[in-house]
Structure 1
Amino acid sequence: MKVGFIGAGSIGSAMIKGLINSGMSPQDILVKGGHSNRATNLQKELGFELVSDETELKSTEIIIVAVGTPALDNVFSQLKTFVDQQVVVSVSGGSTIEFMHKYLPEKPVAFAIPNTPVSIGEGVAGISYADEFTEQQRNLTKEVFEKMGRLIEVPESQLGILGTVAGCSPAFIDVLIEALSDAGVLNGLPRELSYEVVIQMLIGSAKLAQQHNGHVAELKDQVTSPGGSTIRGVAALEEYGFRNALIKAVDKANNG
């Protein structure tokens, strides 16, 4: 199987890295970059095939469009000239099934929103398929995306908020890591040790929540003993609006 990319910006680069880190041969990944040298520099690092024209992606089975919104019209105008059997998945903001069908009517197009942890195979992507997708084409798309993490099919009306939660929240978690590390340093931990402890704690907590069959509140209840330090900390989070801050952050990111 060969995968084509148009664009190697932040999310395109993350996906390319994720596929190669999953064991996919760099020779099976063809990339058409933009005017910057980002794709060229990434090619030197990863060894995929760099192409100079979109039509060279004819040999691929799936084409992933990962360009900025202003470039979408030009890219899909090019795709219109040669796409036949290929599956086309756009991960570019501003894409819609309707928009893609303007250029590729009755073709199997899809809109997906992955997050940057796809680069290490721990990503999550929401996806909406056009009606033309066959079961075989869905399986092909799933095979590619699940090399980079989890793929979740949702109606297109839910794709935006799923993408916001999955795509913006890593930055919120980075802020959380920094703040927790600052708290550790404030109370005497060396900076590097503080980061190490916080990051490992988050990894373990996320895995535990993933494996837990019940509500995540049950996990909180297990460590909040009466009058103990944890429940005092939880009470402080409530006092200073921790939950509300996260809800507002996601809502603002999603709705502007």
Structure 2
Amino acid sequence: MKVGFIGAGSIGGAMIKGLINSGVDPEDVLVKGGHSNRAQELQKELQFNLITNYDELKVTDIIIVAVGSPALDGVFSELKKIVKDQPVVSVSGGSTIEFMHNYLPNYSVALAIPNTPVSIGEGVTGISYAEEFTQEQRDIVKSVFEKMGQLIEVPESQLGIFGTVAGCSPAFIDVLIEALSDAGVLNGLPRQLSYDAVIQMLIGSAKLAQQHNGHVAELKDQVTSPGGSTIRGVAALEENGFRNALIKAVDAAQNG
């Protein structure tokens, strides 16, 4: 299967890395870059097939658009000249299914929002399909995106908040990692040891929550013994507005 990319910026580059690191042959990844040198620089590292014109995308089985909003009109103006029956998936924040249908009417287009952990195969991507999508085309999209992590179908009306929660929260978690590490250092742990402990704790906790069939509060209850250190810490989080801070962060990212 050949995968075409238009754009190799932050999210496009992360997806390209994720695909190739998952075992996809770099020769089967065709990338058309823009005016910056990001695609060229990334090609030196990953050895994918760097192309220079849209016609070369005709051989692909799926085309992924990963450009900034200002470039969307130009990209889709070119795509309408060359696409055949391969699905087109936009991961650009400024696009909608309606926008894509303006250029590719009655065509199998989809809007997706991945997060940056797709680069290591641990991402989560929300996707909304146009009604023209066949099951065969969905299978093509699924086979590509699941190499980079989990793919979840989401109504387009909810895709924005899904993308905010999944896409912005990695930065919030990075702040959490830094703060927990600082707390460890404050109490005597060497910096690297503190980072190692915090990061592995988060990995293990996330996997445990993923495998747990009940409410995540049940996992919290399992480690908060009466009068113990953990419940005292939880009480301090509540006193300082931890939950509210996270809710406000997501709401600010979503609504500006």
TM-score by length of 2: 0.99
Mapping for residues 62-141 of structure 1, pairs under 5 Å: 62-141=62-141
Counterparts of 2:69 and 2:54 in 1: how far apart (Å)? Answer: 17
Counterparts of 1:166 and 1:125 in 2: how far apart (Å)? Answer: 8
Counterparts of 1:241 and 1:72 in 2: how far apart (Å)? Answer: 41
Counterparts of 1:139 and 1:38 in 2: how far apart (Å)? Answer: 30
Q: The residue matched to 1:34 in structure 2 has which SS?
A: coil
Counterparts of 1:245 and 1:171 in 2: how far apart (Å)? Answer: 14
Q: Which AA in structure 2 matches 1:52?
A: T
Shift of 1:94: 1.0
Give the structure 2 partner of residue 185 of structure 1: 185
Q: State the superposition RMSD in angstroms.
A: 0.5
Q: Which AA in structure 2 matches 1:198?
A: V
Q: The residue matched to 1:138 in structure 2 has which SS?
A: helix
Are 1:22 and 2:19 an aligned pair? no
Shift of 1:241: 0.3
Give the structure 2 partner of residue 149 of structure 1: 149
Counterparts of 1:63 and 1:24 in 2: how far apart (Å)? Answer: 15
Shift of 1:121: 0.4
Q: Which AA in structure 2 matches 1:69?
A: S
Shift of 1:16: 0.3
Deviations 1:71-104 (CA, angstroms, capped at 9, x unpaired): 0000000101111111100000011000000000
Shift of 1:154: 1.0
Are 1:254 and 2:237 an aligned pair? no
Counterparts of 1:245 and 1:142 in 2: how far apart (Å)? Answer: 35
Give the structure 1 partner of residue 216 of structure 2: 216
Give the structure 2 partner of residue 172 of structure 1: 172
Give the structure 1 partner of residue 236 of structure 2: 236
Q: Which AA in structure 2 matches 1:187?
A: N
Aligned length: 256
Counterparts of 2:173 and 2:53 in 1: how far apart (Å)? Answer: 38
Counterparts of 2:210 and 2:86 in 1: how far apart (Å)? Answer: 35
Give the structure 2 partner of residue 197 of structure 1: 197
Are 1:35 and 2:12 an aligned pair? no
Deviations 1:147-171 (CA, angstroms, capped at 9, x unpaired): 0000000110010010100000000
Counterparts of 1:85 and 1:221 in 2: how far apart (Å)? Answer: 52
Counterparts of 2:85 and 2:37 in 1: how far apart (Å)? Answer: 30
Shift of 1:52: 0.5
Deviations 1:167-222 (CA, angstroms, capped at 9, x unpaired): 00000000000000000001011111110000000000000001111100000000
* Structure 1 segments (4+ residues) deviating >6 Å: none
**Identity percentage over the alignment?**
82
Give the structure 2 partner of residue 61 of structure 1: 61
Give the structure 1 partner of residue 227 of structure 2: 227
- Long gaps (5+) in structure 2: none
8 A contact 2:86–2:137 mirrored in 1: no
Q: Which AA in structure 1 matches 2:13?
A: S
Q: Which AA in structure 1 matches 2:130?
A: A
Shift of 1:55: 1.7
Counterparts of 1:207 and 1:64 in 2: how far apart (Å)? Answer: 30
Q: The residue matched to 2:172 in structure 1 has which SS?
A: helix
